[in-house]
Structure 1
Amino acid sequence: MSDSSKNRVLIVDDEMPARTIIRSYLEHFSDIEIIGECANGFEAMKAIRELNPDFIFLDIQMPKVNGLELLEVLDNAPYVIFTTAYDEYALKAFELNAVDYLLKPFSRERFGQAVEKVLDKIRKGEPNDNLIHQKIRAENAELLNRIVVKKGSSMSVIPVQEVLFFEAQEDYVMVHTTQGRFMKNQTMHFFESHLPDDTFVRIHRSYLANVEKITRLEPYDKDSYMALIPPDHKLRISRAGYKKLKDRLGF
């Protein structure tokens, strides 16, 4: 039975030794209850939804779904203390005022500082910055090779080559894929700058298309065209987009 007077924490890390260390360090905090452990993002999504932890320890580098991808698909993310063996995100996380960031291997003292920081936020009822992971991700220049999406209570990993096109929809982006369409709380600029430009072309302010999926171009009016993408998508092409297509496809 869970103790409602304690702060509830979930440990998410694919490595058992790392989870064991966190668990042992937490034994010294009488006001914290460990409500579960997860070895991957799929398990974590289910556990966060069902158990509603106050905060989580989250490894960034994990197989299948990494920590940042997990946070992207959570509607209401808890407070997060990032843990990782790689420091490529560390400086950005600190500059952006993340709750905290533990670089493995971390000492008991450093661990305690991170825990006290998140407990202080919980006591004060400070709002959680759920956009912190997006800010970190946006500054990372690494190209995407997959996109994590959520539909209902399930999560899927879609290789970028299965994406037909991206469609701008106000503050969101609709990702049209061979498996259906999915909403992402990111910008067209993010996807345009994080996808291979020899495959994805901004054909219109509203569309970023996978040129390998375009089967035909049709005239729309005197000076513009439509891109046809099976099974039945017809996308407007702007003048600038048509020039990019010509340059990319060499016609």
Structure 2
Amino acid sequence: MLRVMVVDDEPPARRGLKRLMQAHPDVEVVGEAGSLDQAHQLTHALRPDAIFLDIDLGDDDGFGLIKRLDQVPAIVFVTGHGTYAPQAFDVAALDFLLKPVERQRLALTLERLRRYRHALELGGKVLDDTATVLPVVMPGRRRLHIRMAGQTLVLPTDGIAMLAAEADFTRIVMADARDHLVCRLLGQFDAELPTPPFIRVSRSLIINLDRVVRVRSQDKGRSLLSLGRSLTPIMLGRVATTRLRRALDGFQRVGTVPDG
């Protein structure tokens, strides 16, 4: 059951959103608030999975609520002003709905919430798909800064072994076997990562050529890819194998051992 809270200073808007949610049996509206202070108190008391949060709350705004919370649940902004979208992304909102909320659009948001909660239940480190990923060039090193509510995760790109798509999520696998599950499509990382050494070998996999240790040929044109001692080798299909070998042929690096 998805436990959500609705925050809007207009009672008709709260009633309308709750009415739309009634079509989803796995969604429970556990509370509603019409002001920032009330929302702050209820969030601490109810601990909802998500807050559907209006931005314009009379004398206050929804961004102020996020600043006051120690633990921020998933945030879905609901507003009549599309100009707030960049600020919503800055605080890593899970989604941004424009009033009047359409039934089909709400359904997409709720599905995103379900997947987000499922990933959390699996114990993964989940970052919001609206988090800003910034490629930052450091002296002799490049990093990804993944900005989310209240913190920034810094990942040196040379420490990334691969990125794998998992539905609407991307799992970033580090060379030391740590991984981070990011609620962001794999394709959104294509422009953020340097090419080379990163190469997308399939719809679901991006490989860091610097981390390739061995490519062993298998039957039917497949291959077994090793990315270091800490990681379990992965099987690549025929097309992915062809793309990887072509990339390696044009990528000069000491230590790569294509086999076969």
State the TM-score bracket (shorter-chain normalisation). Answer: 0.3 to 0.5
Query: Normalising to structure 1: TM-score of the pair?
Result: 0.46
Query: Normalising to structure 2: TM-score of the pair?
Result: 0.45
